[in-house]
Amino acid sequence: MKPGPRRLEQAIGYRFRKRAHLRLALTHPSYRYENSDAQDDNQRLEFLGDAVLSLTTAEHLYNSCPDLREGDMSKLRSHLTEDRKLAGIAAELGLSSELLLGRGEAGSGGADRASNLADALEAVLGAAWLDGGMRAVRKIFGKVFLPELEILLNSNGAPNPKGTLQEFAQRNGFPVPTYETLAESGPDHDRIFTVEVTACSKSWRAEAGSKREAERLAAVQALEELVPDIGNN
């Protein structure tokens, strides 16, 4: 295998028990055609990884974003799992340098081709599923995909509880809400952040795998208590 699988494992937050799973995920069909020692390529793993990513994204949105409606969740999942987004994530991970390509594909710029990168990233998720089940997939999702999903949550027209809370507070004569990180726990690849938001002379706390998500959840809690008062103003 090309040098660097350990670096890729560090980047995705998961170390494979069977390195052959990762190698297969990085094996483009062109490599298989040109090398008799390659018995398979990553296309079947890409199919599996596509389904796994869709499920994991849906699970996270359902459990962590109770304020989102079905249409909002579908839109966010679609944006996160589109090929262009996946190719960009794969490029940031340095996955292009790890692809196993045939000489013709490599010579024509296949290592940077968006379709190859997107397929390989999904294949890595499929390989992780085979290697360590849902636990492995969730590790990669938390490290690689969750930050991207949080950006989409704040910029894609989905409900923005932090912004709504700030508008409510200022409209009712209170200072801008403040967020304070009270605690961090867990290993580096699976951190848990406890955040407290103070708004309208009250405080709420929430925990999540990132500060941004914990802040968002704390704002949701605040709005759940304050929203009934909005209709009375």
Token pair 């009270």: residue: 182
Report how far residue 163's alpha carbon sits from residue 211's, in angstroms, rounded to the nearest whole number: 16
**149-179 pLDDT, tens digit each:** 887 876 654 567 887 888 888 888 899 899 9
Last residue of a domain, one of 155, 188, 216: 155
Same domain, 137 and 64: yes
Tally of structural domains, the chain: 2
Model pLDDT, residue 4:
61
Residue 230 predicted with pLDDT over 60: no
Residue 151 and residue 192 share a domain:
no
If asked whether residues 140 and 190 sit together in one domain, one would say no
* Residues 97 and 207 reside in one and the same domain: no
Residue 114 and residue 185 in one domain: no
Tokens of 181: 């990180």
In this structure, which long-range contacts are made by residues 5-8, counting pairs with CB atoms below 8 Å and at least 24 apart in sequence?
5/98, 7/94, 8/93, 8/94, 8/95, 8/98
Residues 27 and 65 in one domain: yes
pLDDT of amino acid 3: 43
Domain boundary among 125, 155, 185: 155
Annotate 105-164 with three-state secondary structure: HHHCCHHHCHHHHHHHHHHHHHHHHHHHHHHHHHHHHHHHHHHHHHHHHHHCCCCCHHHH
**Counting every residue, how long is the chain?**
233
Residues 205/218, Cβ–Cβ less than 8 Å: yes
Domain boundary pick from 98, 128, 155: 155
Domain extent at residue 85: 5-155
The 10s digit of each residue's pLDDT in 94-126 is 899 999 999 999 999 989 899 999 999 999 999
Residues 77 and 172 in one domain: no
Q: What CATH number is attached to the domain comprising 24?
A: 1.10.1520.10
Residues with a catalytic annotation lie at 50, 122
Tell me, what CATH number does 186's domain have? 3.30.160.20
Average pLDDT over residues 170-192: 87
User: Do 212 and 125 share a structural domain?
Assistant: no
Instruction: Mark whether 128 and 195 lie in a shared domain.
Output: no
